[in-house]
Amino acid sequence: MEKIAFVCQRYGLEVNGGAELLCRLVAERLTAAFDVTVYTTCATDYISWANVYPRGEEILNGVRVIRFPVVRERNRKAFGLFSRVVLHNPLHLSALEEKWIDMQGPYCPEMVAALVQDHEEYRAILFMTYLYFTTVRGMYPGLKNAFLIPTVHDEPTVYLKVFDQVFSRAAGFVWNSPEERAFALKRFPDISGKKEIMAGVGIEIPALLPPLPDCLNGIEYILYSGRIDAHKGCNRLFKYFLQYKKDHQNRLRLVLTGKGTCPVPKDPDIISLGFVEDDIKYAMMAGALAFVLFSPFESLSMVVLESMAVGRPVIVNGDCEVLRGHCRRSGAGLAFSDYDSFVAAVEKMRTRGPDYLEMCENGKQYVAENYQWNRIICKYRKLICQMDSSEASSLRSSGVASD
């Protein structure tokens, strides 16, 4: 069986980040066709990069995982100050960008050295996310069998010049949405013509869901699931919802699941349940009026697709091209641009009229047609198999792995 490898900044059953979870789900499903190895760190937390897992090898759900220790944890305060210098000064020196990558982390030079030593063993090496040290340093000059799963969106970091090198060194790309691809081609026009697939993620909802937590029985609520973080738009979510409750005397609640870095307001109409298992999350989605996502930066959004799959429409930040695209293509959600349009979306959902019921059915159909694992894994296999095993050091210049 031919060998392939993934490179991911964090990896494990305890790691719930979107990109890292996607990496694990794809890696596990590719074990039917390839001998799969993952190069990763000992960290579980993307803020500090503190080593938690032991270094060394393990087999996890059929995947060989090699963990390397992070040499130095991130100093959050120092990194924040330095980021402001680099990201808000377009005339900064390239050396500052290089230092920024090291401070961004996870700083793991031993893993990079292992890739340099081992890369010829693999037909393809797939790097998860463009942003981190593990990708920037791992995709060193001369590595010809590297594919990038960039999970890229329009954010300040993507305009650093160091990422021009990362995208140019990739032999091909795995995109999660048409909007992600369109943005990347605009930002990095030189990648046009490289091998690519439009993949995404498979959505699997159990046929039988558990009952709702007792605290949710008999109440009307909108749901947010994921990292409770300012970068996910949670502060704006809290602001809008609390203003909505002042303006509307009804019993609608905001329910949250997930851990995070920003405080949740103490209010009787906001219920925060912390981390919940997936089957409980799906049950909560199915019991909600709608799922809400205020994040301005997404390359796919698994939780939006999961809500659609259980037949519940979504209310999303219209500033995010990807989320707006999901709503446009599916007819299963509404995008808002400001407080008034958020309120209009909530009130339209609360009517539960014919339009609402149509959105519920549209979402299920959209996911069934576009986000099934068998089709997605076939695309990955097609992309990887374009690498001629006898000439893995060079890619053909013609042909694209498409849908």
Can you give the pLDDT at residue 264? 96
Contact indicator for 48, 70 with CB cutoff of 8 Å: no
Q: Where are the beta strands (DSSP E) in 112-226?
A: 124-128, 146-149, 172-175, 195-198, 221-225
Can you give the pLDDT at residue 400? 32
Integer Cα distance of 2 and 381 in angstroms = 12
> How crowded is residue 345: how many other Cβ atoms within 10 Å of its Cβ?
22
Instruction: Say yes or no to pLDDT of 392 above 70.
Output: no
Instruction: Report the CATH number of the 214-369 domain.
Output: 3.40.50.2000
Q: Where are the domains of the chain?
A: 3-202+372-391, 214-369
Say what percent of the chain tops pLDDT 90: 87
Contact indicator for 162, 94 with CB cutoff of 8 Å: yes
Q: Is the peptide bond before 106 cis (omega within 30 degrees of 0)?
A: yes
Q: How far apart are the first and last CA of the chain?
A: 25
Q: Do domains 3-202+372-391 and 214-369 have the same CATH topology?
A: yes
Q: How does strand 63-68 pair with strand 56-60?
A: antiparallel
Q: What is the dihedral of CA 10, 15, 384, 57, to 10 degrees?
A: 60
Q: Which fold has domain 3-202+372-391?
A: Rossmann fold (3.40.50)
Please state the pTM of the whole predicted model. 0.86
Q: What's the token pair of residue 387?
A: 């690498």
Taking only the tens place, the pLDDT of each residue in 84-131 is 989 988 777 889 999 999 999 999 999 999 999 999 999 999 999 999
Can you give the pLDDT at residue 375? 94
Can you give the pLDDT at residue 253? 98
Residue-wise burial string across 150-164, b where 16 or more C-beta atoms lie within 10 A, e elsewhere? bbbbbeebbebeebe
Can you give the pLDDT at residue 387? 63
Q: What is the dihedral of CA 321, 323, 325, 330, to 10 degrees?
A: -170
